[in-house]
Structure 1
Amino acid sequence: MTARLMEQACSWLADQREAMAECLKTLVEIDSHSHDKAGNDAVADVIAGWLEADGIELKRTSRPHAGDILEARLEGTQAGHVLLMGHRDTVFPTGTVARRGYTQRGDLAFGPGVADMKAGLVLNCFVLRALRRLPSLPYPVHALFTADEEIGSLDGRAFIEEAVQGARAVFNAEPGRVSGNVVTARKGGAGFLIEVEGRAAHSGVNHADGASAIEALARKIVKLHALTDHAAGVTTNVGVIEGGMSRNTVAPWARAQLDVRFVSASQRERLYADIEAIVAEQELPGTSGSLTRTSAFLPLEARMSEVLFGHYQGHAARLGFAVEGEFTGGCSDAGFTASLGVPTLCGVGPVGAKMHTDEEVCRLDTLVPRAQAVAATLLDLGDLTGEGAKSPVSA
C-alpha cells in the first residue's frame, strides 16, 4: 500500500516542474522582508489560494505585529503527524523586487529570497497537493508557514513548538546546500545587546572624575572574544559597537551587539553563564553593565536527524539522485523542533546558493526531485520514536 501511495505522489509531481517554477516566480515577486507584515501576509494569501483550490484545510492566525501564521492540514489514519515547515520572510528590504525581481536563465532562477526560502515554500505546497490526491494517508501531514525566521522567530517560535507536539518527524524546507546535500546538523545561536553605563567628564579639565563606558566595554569585548573555541565549534563575535558623546568627553555610555554560535545544548549553557559573568563584572569603578538577549536559536544536533536522514537518503537514491548529510554554522527553526525530541531534517528544499546576497540563486532542476524525496520519505517513516529522544531544551 505504501509503495503504491509513493508511486502515485511521485508520478503527479513528475509533471509539475513548470507549474512549480511559475509559483516560485509569483512568490519571489512579492517583497516580504521580516518587518513587512503586509508583504508576508500577501505571500500567505497566495499560498492559501493554491491550497484551498485543492480542498486542503487551512488555519490562519492573525498576528498584530508580524506576518500571520498559516497552517495547513491533511488527515491520516494513524496518530502522530508529520510536520513540514517553512518561513515566508526574507532579509531583503521592501522595494527590492522593483529593482531586481525574478529572472530566469536556463535552469537557474534569481531574485530576492528565491532559495531562502520561497522555493522551499513552493516545495511544501506541491508536496501537500500531491498528498491530497491520494486515497488516504498513513498519518496526518501538517505544514506551518511562519513569517519571522530571519530575525529569530520571536513570534513564530511558540507556534512552531505548538505545531510539533505529537509529531513523528519534521522536514524543514530551507534550501539544499550548494553541494546538493541536506542539512543534518546546525549550530544554535543567540544575539545579545550589551549596555555599559559610565560617568561623563571633560577629558582635559577633569578626566579623573570620569568613568569611561567605552573602555569598560572594550575590556569586556576582549574577554568575550576569548570564549571562541573554533575546534569545539563555539564562536563569539561583537559585530556592532557604539557609544560616547564627543571626542573630548569621557564616555558615559556604550553598547555592543554580540552574536554567539554553538553546537550543543551543553555548550550553550556554559557559554551563556560565561557571558553573563563577563558583563556583570565591573571593569572600572563607576561603570556597570547589563545584558539583554535579543534572539535565540537552538541547535539541530546530528543525533536528531540520523535515522530520518537514512530514510530520506534511501528514497533519494531510488529517485535517481545521491545526497549526503551536511553540517552548517547557520541557524534555523529546525533547532526548535529537534530540541523538543522530534526527529528533524533540514535543508530539504530545492538546491540554492549565495543566499542573502544579490546573486541568490535556485536550481530549478531540483524542484521536482526534492519534492518527490520529501513526499516519498514522509509516506514511509515507520517508527521513529526511538531516535534521540530527550527532554525539551529551553532557550
Structure 2
Amino acid sequence: MQGRQDDRLGSLIQEHLPRIVDLTARICAIPAPTFHEAERARFMAEQFRQRGLAVEVDSLDNVVARRPGEGRAPALLLAAHLDTVFPPETPISVEHGEGWLQGPGIGDNSLGLAALLTLVDLLQAAGARTPGDLLLAANVGEEGLGNLRGIRALVERYGPELGAVIAVEGHNLGRVTHIAVGSLRLRLTVTGPGGHSWGAFGQPSAIHVLASIVTELTRLPVPKEPKTTYNVGLIEGGVSVNTIAPSASAVIDLRSIDPAELARLSQSLAGIVERHRVDGVEIAEEVLGERPAGQTPVEAPLVQAAIGVLRELGLEPALDASSTDANIPIAHGIPAVCVGLTRGRGSHTLQERIEIEPIRLGLAQLVRLVQQFPVGAGPAPSPERSA
C-alpha cells in the first residue's frame, strides 16, 4: 500500500513540476525588498484564493491561507518569506536553462513561496486531509533588518493553536535547521566637537574613539562552542582629511547559538562603550534588530520526522544552525525547523541559480511532513506558551 502511495505521489509531483517552475519565475519577477513586499503579497493572496482557501492579509502584508483539517488536532504552520535582499531599483531578469532557473531571489525565496502553492495543489489532487488545520503563510521581514517581524506577528496571532512550524526555503535540500542562531544588531554613533586637524589638534575625534571601540571589540575572546561571533559590517563618518571628525558610526552584528553567550557578548560590548565615554564625546546606541537564540532538540518528534522523511527519500539529513523564521516559534516553545527544497548557488547575488530536478524531492519532503503531522508535533500548545 505504501509503495502505491509513493508511486502516486511521485507521479503527481512530476506532473506539477513544470507548474512550480513557472510559478517560481513569476514570483521572482515581482520585486519584494524588505519593507516593500505588498505587490508580491497580493499575488500570493490571489493565488491562494484561486485554490479555494480562506485568506487573511494583516497590516504588515503577511498572507495566511487556511486549509481546514478534519479534527481538533493542533495546526501546522508552513511559512515562506516574501522579501528579498535586493533594493527596489534592482533589475530582475529570470533565465531558464537546461535543468536550472536563474535570477535574483529565485531560490531565496521565490521557490519557497511557489512550493506553498504547489503543496496545496498536490494535497487537493491526492484528496489528502490533515487531522488539524494547515496554515500556509507568505510572510514579510525575514531578511536583514526586517528582524523577523512577519513571523513574530504570525506567532503572536496563531501561537495558541500551533503544534509546530516549518519554515520553507528554496535552497539547501537535505538540511534540517533546528538550532536558531540569535543575533543583536546595533548602530553605535559617536559625536565630538570636531575642528581643524592642525589648529584644534588634541580635541577628541569621533573616528578615533569609534576605531578604538572596534579594536577592543575584536580582541574579545569568544567561544567556538557554542559558536559565538561578532562583526562590524559598516562604518561611516568624518568630513575631510584635515578635519577632526565630529561624528562616526558603525553597524555591529553579534551572534550566538546560545542565549547566555549572546547576552555575555552584548554586555562586554556595553562595557567597552562605557570605557570610551569621555568629556566632549557622546556615544549613542540604536538597536536595529534582535533575533532570539534557541533550539528544537534533536530528539523532538518534529526533528525526527524531518530526518526520517529525508532518509526515506534517499537523502542524508544535515542538522544545522542558522537564523531563519524558525527562530521565533522556537523562542516561544513551539517546535520548529527550517527545511530546503532544492540545490543551487549564488544566494543573495544577481546570478542566484537553482536546480529544477531536485525540486521533486523537496516537494515530496513537504507532502510527507504534512501527512505525518501531528506525529511530528510536540505537546499541544497552550495560550500561555505563546505569550
Q: TM class by shorter-chain length?
A: 0.7 to 0.9
Match for residue 217 of structure 1? 210
Once the 2 structures are TM-superposed, how far is the Cα of residue 230 of structure 1 from its aligned partner? 5.7
What per-residue deviation string (whole Å, max 9, x for no partner) do you get for residues 268-290 of structure 1?
22122222222233354322312
Once the 2 structures are TM-superposed, how far is the Cα of residue 73 of structure 1 from its aligned partner? 0.7
| Alpha-carbon contact 2:99-2:357 (below 8 Å) kept | yes
Once the 2 structures are TM-superposed, how far is the Cα of residue 11 of structure 1 from its aligned partner? 5.4
Once the 2 structures are TM-superposed, how far is the Cα of residue 135 of structure 1 from its aligned partner? 5.5
Q: In 2 relative to 1, CA 282–392 (structure 1 residues): closer, same or farther, beyond 3 Å?
A: farther
Once the 2 structures are TM-superposed, how far is the Cα of residue 223 of structure 1 from its aligned partner? 1.8
| Distance of 1:191 and 1:376 partners within structure 2 | 37
Match for residue 313 of structure 1? 307
The 5 A counterparts of 1:47-126 are 47-63=44-60, 68-76=61-69, 77-98=71-92, 101-126=93-118
Is 53-62 or 129-138 further displaced after alignment? 129-138
1:369 aligns with 2:378: no
What per-residue deviation string (whole Å, max 9, x for no partner) do you get for residues 251-310 of structure 1?
222111111221111212212222222223335432231211101222352526853232
1:203 aligns with 2:200: no
| Distance of 1:52 and 1:2 partners within structure 2 | 32
Once the 2 structures are TM-superposed, how far is the Cα of residue 50 of structure 1 from its aligned partner? 2.2
1:226 aligns with 2:219: yes
Give the secondary-structure state (helix, strand or coil) at the position aligned to 2:265. Answer: helix
Match for residue 293 of structure 2? 299
Once the 2 structures are TM-superposed, how far is the Cα of residue 122 of structure 1 from its aligned partner? 1.0
| Distance of 1:268 and 1:165 partners within structure 2 | 28
| Alpha-carbon contact 2:296-2:303 (below 8 Å) kept | no
| Alpha-carbon contact 1:239-1:258 (below 8 Å) kept | yes
| Alpha-carbon contact 1:124-1:371 (below 8 Å) kept | no
Q: In 2 relative to 1, CA 315–334 (structure 1 residues): closer, same or farther, beyond 3 Å?
A: same
Unaligned runs of 5+ in 2: none
Match for residue 172 of structure 2? 177
Superposed CA RMSD in Å reads 2.9
Match for residue 370 of structure 2? 378
| Alpha-carbon contact 2:296-2:335 (below 8 Å) kept | no
**Which amino acid in the other structure matches residue 17 of structure 2?**
R
Once the 2 structures are TM-superposed, how far is the Cα of residue 14 of structure 1 from its aligned partner? 4.0
1:238 aligns with 2:232: yes
Match for residue 360 of structure 1? 352
Give the secondary-structure state (helix, strand or coil) at the position aligned to 1:82. Answer: strand
| Distance of 1:196 and 1:254 partners within structure 2 | 5
Match for residue 43 of structure 2? 46
| Distance of 1:228 and 1:332 partners within structure 2 | 26
Provide the TM-score with structure 2 as the length reference: 0.88
| Alpha-carbon contact 2:180-2:294 (below 8 Å) kept | yes
| Distance of 1:242 and 1:213 partners within structure 2 | 11
**Which amino acid in the other structure matches residue 25 of structure 2?**
K
Once the 2 structures are TM-superposed, how far is the Cα of residue 106 of structure 1 from its aligned partner? 1.7
Q: In 2 relative to 1, CA 157–84 (structure 1 residues): closer, same or farther, beyond 3 Å?
A: closer
Give the secondary-structure state (helix, strand or coil) at the position aligned to 1:357. Answer: coil
- In percent, how many aligned pairs have the same letter? 22
**Which amino acid in the other structure matches residue 12 of structure 2?**
W
| Distance of 2:95 and 2:221 partners within structure 1 | 41
| Distance of 1:296 and 1:46 partners within structure 2 | 29
| Distance of 2:228 and 2:386 partners within structure 1 | 18
Once the 2 structures are TM-superposed, how far is the Cα of residue 85 of structure 1 from its aligned partner? 0.6
Number of matched residues?
A: 379
